[in-house]
Amino acid sequence: MTLPVSVKGVVIVDGRVLLLRNERDEWDLPGGRPDAGETYEAAVVREAREEANIEVTVLDCLDDWPYEVLPGRFVRILAYGCRVIDAARTALSHEHLELRFFAPDELDGLRLHDGYRRVIDRWFARATR
């Protein structure tokens, strides 16, 4: 069975990762489903712009895994590390309840999927090399 794909971007600005709080009161990475004919990388760029008004370029695919969004309903998450081009006018879209930047030591205790935490930690590790 082929799972629908949802792309996510790990966006770090000034040593803090961008997270968006969704309607389930969980913290999420910016992202979503690619449009028809759109590359995964282009979808990450578009979603970061739409959800947070941040311009990014996609560098690396950090991981992919099946994610159960609802009981018995799965999507394939592809998470990408991003380089920020412009974050001067960051803004919350109508799709989420809150937009915040978190330092690595502020992530513990957040309602954040383990896969998201894994790719955030992976991207922070690369960014500080």
Q: What pLDDT score does 70 carry?
A: 82
pTM of this prediction? Answer: 0.94
Q: Tell me what the mean pLDDT of segment 65-78 comes to.
A: 92
Q: What pLDDT score does 127 carry?
A: 75
Q: How far is CA 126 from CA 7, 32, 82, 108, in A?
A: 20, 24, 11, 20
Any domain includes 101: yes
Q: What's the pLDDT band for 1 if we cut at 50, 70, 90?
A: low
Any domain includes 125: no
pLDDT digits (tens, 9 = 90+) for 99-120: 999 999 999 999 999 999 999 9
Q: Are 87 and 101 in contact (CB under 8 A)?
A: no
**CATH of residue 105:** 3.90.79.10
Any domain includes 47: yes
Any domain includes 127: no
Q: Tell me what the mean pLDDT of segment 3-28 comes to.
A: 95
Q: Tell me what the mean pLDDT of segment 58-68 comes to.
A: 95
Q: What pLDDT score does 17 carry?
A: 97
Q: Does the pLDDT value for residue 69 go beyond 90?
A: no
The C-alpha atoms of residue 29 and residue 18 are separated, in whole angstroms, by: 7
Q: State the residue range of the domain holding 97.
A: 5-120
Any domain includes 84: yes
Q: How many domains does the chain have?
A: 1
Any domain includes 129: no
Any domain includes 128: no
